[in-house]
A = this chain, B = another copy of it.
Amino acid sequence: MSTNALGLDRKSYMGAKSTLCSGCGHDSITNHIISALYKSSIDPHKVAKISGIGCSSKTPTYFLEKSAGFNSLHGRMAPLATGAKMANRDLKIIGISGDGDSASIGLGGFCHLLRRNVPMVYIVENNGVYGLTKGQFSATADEGSSRKSGEINTYSSIDLCSLAIEMGCGFVARSFSGDAKQLVPLVRAAMEYEGTAFIDVISPCVTFANHPGSTKSYDAVKERKFQLQSLGYIEAKEEIAVDYEGSTLVELHDGSKLALTKVDEHSHDVHDPQAAMKVLIEAKQQNEFATGLFYFDKKHSNLVQDESLSVKPLSELDESTLRPTEEQLNEVMAQFA
């Protein structure tokens, strides 16, 4: 049985049996998260999985059984995760959400979390519908796409990646539930990013959005998807293989690197927000799914840093630290006397 650097096998990263529809994209994402964390030898005890409500938000039950988890409220994953992170900065937080959860009811929380740059991984499992309530359009459904019932979406769709860039997020990527090769390195890199790492994963809903009118069906994705880069993850200690000659290396906090290798004619500067926006707008205009890393900004300070937060987690501070002395109280009292 093979194990990782922590001596854990892959099974140690798994969770309960999924109760999603068979074929649901979300289950594949679960799998890729398991792979990523296993490969990166992340200590499950240090991880907290937090989600909202929806089929997607159920998935944290299906991975990392040894990690604390919280299937919270519809649209409230973002603030909940913010509070948890500030209370215990040592937690590695994986936030899982759906397009309904983040782009509709949770849109405010999503945007404001990004503005604050809360250190965590934020994954949206994006199927363009509300799976759990039976397939109504979500806000990421493309304009002109249709429901199973035939109804056409007339509203502008929200592109969570360009929105994330707009909100100052420094790690913005998109992938597809079926693409292990791309998603696993992305998740590994995201886990080492010192700020909010946002990944929008297109994840077909086989039950309500896998029909021809849907633009997020398996067929539509296959047809419209293209990769901006091919991705490789290089651990901190690892030597950089010759394969990566000519690749762009994006360095992460722990010294590991994400290698971006040119695919076809695509080459945009991942450090330039305007270039990233251009890629996104053009793909949208051409009715294509661009996938890969759009934007990366290492220097950006995060909420923990901005707040000069105690190095020791707040949750571990005890009374002797948290309660000032009697003398200090008396000094305060004197000011009011």
Contact = CB atoms under 8 A, between A and B. Distances in A.
Dominant secondary structure at the A interface: helix
B154 A306 contact: yes
A156 B167 contact: yes
B116 A155 contact: yes
A231 interface: no
Given A112-B139, A156-B114, A156-B167, A277 B281 contact: yes
A60 interface: no
A82 to B, nearest CB: 12
A159 B166 contact: yes
Interface string A300-333: 0100001000000000000000000000000000
Q: How large is the interface on A (under 10, 10 to 19, 20 to 34, 35 or more residues)?
A: 20 to 34
Contacts of A274: 277-278, 281
Nearest to A152: B306
A158 B167 contact: yes
Contacts of A155: 115-117, 168, 306
A135 B274 CA distance: 32
Find the residue from A108, A278, A301 having the highest chain B CB count within 10 A: A108
B108 A112 contact: no
A54 interface: no
Contacts of A106: 108
A299 to B, nearest CB: 13
28 contacts: A104-B108, A104-B112, A105-B108, A106-B108, A107-B107, A107-B108, A108-B108, A111-B158, A112-B139, A115-B139, A115-B155, A115-B157, A115-B158, A116-B155, A117-B155, A117-B156, A143-B168, A155-B168, A155-B306, A156-B167, A156-B168, A162-B166, A166-B166, A273-B281, A274-B277, A274-B278, A274-B281, A277-B277
Interface of A: 104-108, 111-112, 114-117, 139, 143, 154-159, 162-163, 166-168, 273-274, 277-278, 281, 301, 306
State the 7 A-B residue pairs at the shortest beta-carbon distance, nearest first.
A156-B168, A154-B306, A107-B108, A108-B108, A115-B156, A115-B155, A274-B281
